[in-house]
Structure formats: structure tokens, C-alpha cells
Structure 1
Amino acid sequence: MRAIRFLGLALVLVLGFGTSVAVGEDVKSGSTKKVGGPFDVKAITGDKAGTSLCYYCQYSAQKRPAVVMIFTQKADDNLVTVVKAVDAVQKTNEKLGTVVVGVSGVEAADFEKIQATHKLTTPLTIAEDKDGPAKYELNKAAAVTVLVYKQGGAVAKNFAFKTTKEAAEKAKEIAEAATEAVK
């Protein structure tokens, strides 16, 4: 009971003084060493729209020096901010592979609506496994997981966010990691 009163008092103090305290650890999602390998998606946009394919396989066969793979549980304007930042890098680094993979309830219609409004370069796809490929170790608590990896699958940078808003706030860092990886 004493612990509950103390916790309540601490919460009042934190809220009352307008400061914030991070509770728990940041969300972790996806490998930090090597990506999980091949998996199939249904392409919603891009030159492969309407087909099922493996972008990991395609980019590996093309010997792309780096790839940005964005897994998302939401399709909203915050996600668009992230994708536009990656698109900007891809436009000046044609060898960079990029793909967005919708998981956990993202529907084709969600991506079609975004594409109609924003005309993104990065292909928008839906994972054939509803929750994404198991071997990619995606955390359901992460609304967005971004894996920037080099040719051969070594992860150069891993980003995981609880919300798409948090991801949008780090769009510049994601773009910088993509730029660095493709060098």
C-alpha cells in the first residue's frame, strides 16, 4: 500500500512539474546482426504491383550495396514522413534498395490510399505472413521496425519505434543511416 501511495505521489510530481520520465526500456525489434533472409510479400505499388515476390531475393541478386527495409503495423502520414526521407536518399543513390512491408493488419487499401496522395518511390508491400516473417524477430510492440543492411545481409543500423510518430521524428536519422550504408 505504501508503494502504491509513493508511486501515485511520484506520478503527481512528474505531471505537476511538466517533466517526463521514460519508464522501462526502448522497444527492441529485429536483428542487430543479420537480416532473416528471404520472405514473400504482395506488392501493392511499384513496378511489381499485383505480384507476389521476395524483395530480399531481388535486391540480393542485383547485388545492391545496401537496403532499407521498413516493417510497419500502421499506414499513416507519420509513416509517409519516414518513407519520403528514404525516397530522397534512394533518388540520389539509385543502387539503394528500399521496401515497406505492411504487417499485423495493414491492408492493401491503406497503401493504395497513401500512394494516391503521396506518390512514393519505395515499393509498398504486404507480408504474406500476417505478422511478418518470423525469422526477422519483429516485436509486436514496435509499430515500425527499420532495418538498414548491407549486401550480404549484415545489419548496419536497426531502428524500432513504439509509434509511427516516434519513427517520423527520427526520419532524418534513418535517411542518414541509409546514406552511410550505401557508400
Structure 2
Amino acid sequence: MHAVRATRILLAVMCVSLGSVVFVTGCGTSGQTPQSLTGVADQESESSAAEISGVEGSESDADQDQTERVTYQSGMEIGAIPMPFEVADVTGPNKGKTLCYRCLYGERPVVGIFVRELDEPTTALIQKIDSEVAAHQDEKLAAFVVMLTDTPAEVKTELEKIASKNQIAHIPFTVFEGTAGPLGYNIKQDASLNVMMWEGVVKANRAWQAGQLKPDEISEVIADTRLMIH
């Protein structure tokens, strides 16, 4: 009888002890493990967000390094190969000659400035590009102005005056007969100014209708020029 009672008491003590162990272990598991997983998830989420933010920041920085996008489209596509065409030279060392500047400049970095009129903003742009050409002779930067006209004889004197008045010494003024422009250059009829830059292939292209060129856009063209040679 005493033996039976002792056995029951022992079993009760063991059950209580085992229950305590399970309870403690269970609390440890249900309390700590989810917190740890949540912490890892939070860290991974924060890390992913930081990586995404970093990528977006890098893209934003890259965008800031580039010049503004072009809104008015005219001229050749980026990557296109400029074809040869002849012009009548009005100023510079080749004055009075008919020649192909696309051929003459070859694979050098070139700024082709195609105009239908020379208002003050356009002339200011040409002056700045002239300064860039002067400053980057070691990089062999070259440029030329092409007046697109159906009456070449009538504009030559005016071009000479503009070049002289504005002291444009490193960019020749030339005339192309025909307002449509050279074959393959895709200059729109309502484009007053089309600036295309190439070095073998077209690297940059900007165009404006009459009266649309703004001072900040002149700065963007100069930035294009510097990006091309660096």
C-alpha cells in the first residue's frame, strides 16, 4: 500500500517536472524564434530597400551627368553614319572652294551646324562652339556651319559679315544649295537650327524651330560637345 502511494507521488512529481520543461522550452521557441525571423526579414527588407535606393540614386546621378533630352526631333538618329556632301565655302582657309567637310574631317569629332537663319541665339551658339574648337585642338575637334538655302549667291555676303562681326575664326561658314539639306541628314523643313555631332557615327543631335533656342539649351549643346571628346 505504501509502495503504491510512493509510486503515485513519484509519477506526479515527474509529470509536473516534465510539464515545466515543455512550458519553458515552448516559451523560448514561440517567443524568440519569430522575433529572430522578423528581425532577419526586417534587415533583408531594409537591405533590399537600400539596394533599390542605391540603384535609383546611381541612375539619378547618371541622368544628372547627361544633358537634357531633346523634345523636338529632326536630323539623323544616334549611331547613324553621316554621308558625304558638298558645300560652297564662304569663310576660312577654304573660302571660295566647293568641298566636302564630312570627307575632309574624316573620323575626327565634328559638330555640324545646319541653319536656315542666323538669329542672335544661333549666332551666340556658334560663337561658343568656336571657342570649344579653339580650346580642343589637341583632341582635333572640328565644326562647320551649313546654311541651307535655295539662293546661295544671295546669302554669302551676309555670312561673311556675321563671321567677321562675331570673330568666328575656327568654324567655316558654308552654303548648301537646297533647303531640304543633304541626302540622309533628315533635317525637317521647319527646323531653323539642327546641330549634329559625330565621330564616325552620330553621337548627339539637337534641333529647334525658329525662335525656340534658349540660353540653357546653348549650355546643353556645349556639354554635348565636351562629352563627345572626353
TM-score above 0.5: yes
Q: CA deviation at 1:49?
A: 0.6
Percent identity, aligned pairs only? 26
Any idea what the Cα deviations from partners look like across 1:90-128, whole Å, max 9, x if unmatched?
Answer: 111110110010013571122112012112021110013
In 2: Cα distance, 1:178 partner to 1:83 partner: 12
Q: Specify the SS of the correspondent of 1:137.
A: coil
Moved more, 50-59 or 132-141: 132-141
1:100 aligns with 2:145: yes
Q: What RMSD, in angstroms, separates the aligned Cα atoms of the two structures?
A: 1.9
User: Quick one: which of 126, 133, 142 aligns to 1:90?
Assistant: 133
Are 2:29 and 1:29 equivalent residues in the alignment?
A: no
Stretches of structure 1 that go unaligned for 5 or more consecutive residues are 1-24
Q: Which amino acid aligns with 1:81?
A: A
Residues matched between the structures, number: 154
Residue aligned with 1:68, SS: strand
1:119 aligned partner: 167
Deviation of 1:44 after TM superposition, in Å, equals: 0.6
| Residue aligning to 2:95 | 49
- 2:220 is matched with 173
> 1:74: which partner in 2?
117
Provide the residue aligned with 1:19 in structure 2. Answer: none
CA spacing shift, 1:168–1:49, aligned 2, 3 Å: farther
Q: How far off is 1:163 after superposition?
A: 2.1
More RCO (CA 8 Å, sep 6+): 1
- CA drift of 1:172 comes to 1.3
Runs of 4+ in 1 over 6 A off after TM superposition: none
Counterpart check, 1:162 vs 2:209: yes
Task: Note the residue ranges of structure 2 that are not aligned, 5 or more in a row.
Answer: 1-69
Does the 8 Å CA contact 2:144/2:173 hold for their aligned counterparts? yes
Map Cα deviations across residues 49-76 of structure 1 (whole Å, 9 max, x no partner). Answer: 110000000000xx41x10001000023
Q: Distance in 2 between matches of 1:100 and 1:45?
A: 10
Bigger radius of gyration = 2
- Given the two structures, how large is their TM-score scaled by the length of structure 2? 0.62
Q: CA 1:168/1:134 → structure 2, altered by over 3 Å: closer, same or farther?
A: farther
CA displacement 1:6-39 (0-9 Å, x = unmatched): xxxxxxxxxxxxxxxxxxx943111123143100
Q: Closer, same or farther in 2 for the Cα pair 1:137/1:68, shift >3 Å?
A: same
Q: In structure 1, how many angstroms separate the alpha carbons of the residues matched to 2:178 and 2:210?
A: 21
Q: Aligned to 2:105, which of 55, 59, 65?
A: 59
Alpha carbons of structure 1 residues 82 and 43: separation in structure 2 relative to 1, 3 Å: same
Secondary structure at the counterpart of residue 213 of structure 2: helix
Q: Does the CA contact (< 8 Å) of 2:77 and 2:202 recur in 1?
A: yes
Q: 1:35 to 1:170 in 2, by over 3 A?
A: farther
Displacement of 1:77 = 2.1
Correspondence for 1:8: none
CA contact (8 A) 2:179 2:189 kept: no
